[in-house]
Structure 1
Amino acid sequence: MLQKTLLALGMLSMPMLSAYAQQVVRPSSPSIKAQGRVDTTNPERYRFDYPGVRFTMQFSGSSSIAAKLKGSAQTYFEAFVDGKPALDPSGRQAIYRSFGDTTIVIASKLAKNQPHEVILFKRTENLDNTPAEFMGFVVDDKASCSPAHYKARRIEFLGNSITCAFGTESKDIHSTFTAETENNYLSYANVLSRAFDADANIVAHSGRGVVRNYGDKSMVSTKEATVPKLFGRVLDSDSTSRWDFKRYQPDAVVVNLGTNDYSTWPQPLKSLFIDGYLKLIAKIRAAYGSQTQIFCIVGPMIDEPCYSYVKEMVEMQRNTNNDSHIHFIGIPKSILALDKDYGASGHPGGDGQKKMAQIVAPVISTVMGWSYSRTEMDDIKGGQGFYSREK
């Protein structure tokens, strides 16, 4: 397993850019593929705060690749070159955060006569209401750049801390959550996306529910946005932002909600919860049409009555609203082993996320008629996360 190093950046980080003259490929360049909900209002500075947002570019003729970005104390990134994690000079997998405008050197000493692909990936959710900003990639002046290919398949995921991958790289169930241990790349959502060779959009925030957020003293939350309200936003942290649904029309939508509605008291009345969920389904249908397949997941952090309520909601949508393109998937708590499948605060660790994907993938495969690779989800490590937590 790879060890990982945190590079807290206020200056150019090692490794260094090449000695050649440099060019900046702006975020609005057709050579860059932006995946996820991104505010493109300013073509020089793209803003984003949902987990799993990534920027991809193919290039050749450059001995180094860097990214220009701005983050915050609780915004973490990682990068990949040619499908492999970017490393620091000591050979550890590097994760990054930035407190101001920063140039992150992702890789150097690359073969200039070979094509390469770079991915800059946002590991964390919106933890401090500070959108990150991406200002482009930096390559050698005479490098040739081209866009990565968009996938033929598209999936959107709506969820809470499980979909965010809250504490996925924590040591065990007793660990205290830190932003550094949240790695959306390891979430079941991204495991499934890679297995199906699909592009993914993720709209998720820890603690949020359908009608009630975690710990709210009321049955219905009004102070903080629930996920149905986040669904219409391009930025989680900006209630006035509006997402243009025409920018991303998924083939399938996966919804994993209800855990926060029913994990603490007072629990919402069944009628309130089902009505709120049906309204969310109506929003999805209005945005993506009647033929998009919707998969409603429950688990593995919650049990009854949430299981029965979501299943009943799905049956109501199928029978009363004549919607045959909605499906229920229950993930039991028993799939997670206490000693190896949990991360911080009882959330699924890396192996737990893969076990979730193992249950969900066959259902999506059957309904969509999609084949999938089992490599991503079958590689169980016998411990938390994908990378070693050794420092």
Structure 2
Amino acid sequence: MQITPHPAPAHRAGATRVLPALLTAVLLACLLSWAGASPVRAAPGDGSVSDPHITYTGRWDTSSGTDAVPHWTGGYLRTAFTGTTVKVKARDAVNFYASIDGKPDVFHAGVRGTVNLTPQPLAAGTHTLRISYRSGDTVFRGLVLDPGARTVAASAPARLIEFVGDSITAGALTDRLALDSYAWKTGERLDARHTRIARSGYCLVARSGCVGLSGQFFKTSSTGSQNWDFSRYQADAVVINLGTNDIGHGVPGTTFQSAYTTFLRDIRTRYPNATLFAVQTLKKRYVNETRAAVSARNSAGDARVHFVDTSGWLTDGTHYEDGNGHPNEAGHTAFADRLAPVISAKLPAQAGAPAAVAPGQPGDPSLKFVGRWDTHSSRTAYTPYWAGAYYRAGFTGRTVKLKQRGTVDLWARIDNGPVTFYDDVKGTVHLTPSPLPSGNHTLQVNYQVVAGSYRGDAVFQGLVLDSGATTFAPAAPRKLVEFVGDSITVGTTTSQNARTAYGWLIGERLGVEHTQIAQGGACLVATADGCVGLERQFSRLNPNATTPDWDFSRYQANAVVINLGTNDVGHGVSSAQFQAAYTRLLRTVRAAHPQAWIFALETFRGRYVPQTEAAVKTVTDAGDARVSFVDTTGWLTSGDLTDSVHPNDKGHRAIAERLAPIIAARIGN
């Protein structure tokens, strides 16, 4: 606590009264402490365990005021903070994961003391932090921030889903345990807070040494006897996956059914408004008994209890880590793909939230739109801007159709098969005239561009699926590379435009998402004769509009590749103008993508090369070490060009061959 000094008491009126009052307050505080009163709550923003800007999800013990201890598996904390660095204080050796600004979790193994989470300082501003503990001395002792920095309350999803189970729910045998479990993946997919009341080897019924979750669920920890205070949080949904282990401990079916019915009843008393899901175990144990327990609760008047049939969700040889029913990472992902829509369909709409979206329609969270798409102007039609935007979806069933508003050219790819071109199509476009085998499938669609502008009415209005089919989120790359440029980056004069441009080729080769912030004829500098200046338009949703700005929180690039300067010469841009504008663009990109590696390419015609190099040097000398100049001398020959400027398909492949390893060396692919 910081105390502001005052003048000496001899120089203040009433000093003889102030000092006794201060002593009385100190003594009273000491007496309260000796009496076991709760510690004084920390001031917001100080990063201590009691800082109200730090939120704890799961069953945490924070009563000491100095140590926060998560119980059960997969508990995590979230906050936001200002400044450029953050450290976390640990008591003893511990393993944990940390995610900053929504980036992939970084594993910190066997660390102790004050652990620096930002060895590479962040850009100045406000950042988010999530920490989840794996094993070891799982004790959180607070954060250390920059001088003058503070924590900020981070936004959090309104809903919370609690997952109850054994080793399967805990994510046993996967690489990251809880973070790879279907429970974590389902919670993230539904944009909900999530807890796991699960532990390996646990049963529903306590029998012959097996801990029974029908009783332990109501405790603070997985092994203790202290009751949990259910007023600390209320779940919107509880997902129960129990029964796999009971059979090995000789639990009769009648005993299991009775215990399950009572367990559902007891959970209802703690969570009066939750929707409860009783999941059929993957090994199909006690299926009839689980169904009967759900029916018993329904008959007793509890309509918000549901049985979940998991038949066919996972495949032997593909989705399992061993022969004991433990899913591998792909299995947990497949489980979450099927479970998330089941939960979503049964939960009531949140206050003020839009109605649930039908599978395959705009707004369906299983659809992934990559690039700069306008998803806000209309709830029923999504429009892509800039070149090379695409979307991906997973779907069940045997057929899929695409709803298009007006005539457009597009490419579609199903299950990583060949790419099919659809010329001048509109309305409901059948993408599977020959039905697929039953099961899970993936779809990728992108629209044709000409010189960076979309040809035709590139507006997505939804998918048409088989009766009873649904969508799921397909596995997605965790990294993204953004390519900034003109017609060369667009892929003008190649066979498939953006699809055969070096940016798309590199993205596919490295297994990353990719965007092309490029337009034919664009300059770096906006000129009086009408050349679109990407220094200015880079931050926009639409290359041909001054507003609105793009929301860079919608994705963060791991790398940004800039290839500009080919057209500026023809519009009279001076060397000094170009260098100043390039420097500003580098700073704009850094502000937009704080962690990205930025590559400034020498244009293939060798224009403004000293100025590009000088701009890179300016920002690196100012402390931005994650910017590189890329010398492209000799990358293309005359046989690689359609004309004197634009690479052909062979030329774009040549660029990809040279550039991909340069990017991979920096971002780790």
Bucket of the pairwise TM-score, normalised by the shorter protein:
0.7 to 0.9
Question: How far off is 1:114 after superposition?
Answer: 2.0
Aligned twin of 1:69: 90
Aligned twin of 1:19: none
In structure 2, which of residues 275, 288, 300 is the aligned counterpart of residue 293 of structure 1? 275
Question: How far off is 1:64 after superposition?
Answer: 1.5
Local SS of the residue matching 1:54? strand
Aligned letter for 1:329?
V
1:271-296 superposed Cα distances (whole Å, 9 cap, x missing partner): 1111111221122111111x321001
- 8 A Cα contact 1:57 1:148, kept in partner: yes
Aligned twin of 2:36: none
Is the counterpart of residue 249 in structure 1 residue 249 in structure 2?
no
Aligned twin of 2:214: 228
Aligned twin of 2:102: 83
Aligned twin of 1:272: 255
In 1, Cα distance between equivalents of 2:277 and 2:156: 23
Q: TM-score of the superposition, structure 1-length normalised?
A: 0.75
In 1, Cα distance between equivalents of 2:264 and 2:192: 22
Higher relative contact order at CA 8 Å, sep ≥6: structure 1 or structure 2?
Answer: 1
Aligned twin of 2:76: 54
Question: How far off is 1:234 after superposition?
Answer: 1.6
- 8 A Cα contact 1:50 1:236, kept in partner: yes
- 8 A Cα contact 1:37 1:235, kept in partner: yes
In 1, Cα distance between equivalents of 2:166 and 2:296: 24
Larger mean Cα displacement after TM superposition, 195-204 or 115-124: 115-124
Aligned letter for 1:94?
F
- 8 A Cα contact 1:211 1:273, kept in partner: yes
Aligned letter for 1:65?
V
State how 1:105-254 maps to structure 2 within 5 Å: 105-123=116-134, 132-169=138-175, 182-212=176-206, 220-221=207-208, 223-239=209-225, 241-254=226-239
- 8 A Cα contact 1:80 1:120, kept in partner: yes
Is the counterpart of residue 343 in structure 1 residue 326 in structure 2?
no
In 2, Cα distance between equivalents of 1:71 and 1:226: 31
Question: How far off is 1:224 after superposition?
Answer: 4.8
In 2, Cα distance between equivalents of 1:381 and 1:82: 18
Q: Which runs of 5+ in 1 are unaligned?
A: 1-22, 87-92, 125-129, 170-181, 213-219, 383-391
- 8 A Cα contact 2:265 2:297, kept in partner: no
- 8 A Cα contact 1:67 1:135, kept in partner: yes
1:306-350 superposed Cα distances (whole Å, 9 cap, x missing partner): 11110111111111x121110000212x43333432225541111
Question: How far off is 1:110 after superposition?
Answer: 2.8
In 1, Cα distance between equivalents of 2:346 and 2:197: 23
Report the number of matched residues: 317
Local SS of the residue matching 2:218? coil
* Shift in alpha-carbon separation, 1:71–1:229, aligned structure 2, 3 A: farther
State how 1:85-104 maps to structure 2 within 5 Å: 85=104, 93-98=106-111, 102-104=113-115
- 8 A Cα contact 1:354 1:378, kept in partner: no
Q: Which runs of 4+ in 1 moved over 3 A?
A: 337-340, 369-372, 379-382
1:184-241 superposed Cα distances (whole Å, 9 cap, x missing partner): 11211111111111111221111111115xxxxxxx34x45311222122222322x2
In 2, Cα distance between equivalents of 1:352 and 1:210: 23
Q: TM-score of the superposition, structure 2-length normalised?
A: 0.45
- 8 A Cα contact 2:254 2:289, kept in partner: no
- 8 A Cα contact 1:186 1:350, kept in partner: yes
In 2, Cα distance between equivalents of 1:271 and 1:368: 30
- 8 A Cα contact 1:160 1:208, kept in partner: yes
Aligned twin of 2:64: 42
Local SS of the residue matching 1:67? strand
Is the counterpart of residue 307 in structure 1 residue 307 in structure 2?
no
Aligned letter for 2:88?
A
Aligned twin of 2:345: 366
Larger radius of gyration: 2
Question: How far off is 1:297 after superposition?
Answer: 0.5
In 2, Cα distance between equivalents of 1:356 and 1:112: 38
Question: How far off is 1:373 after superposition?
Answer: 2.3
In 2, Cα distance between equivalents of 1:314 and 1:71: 45
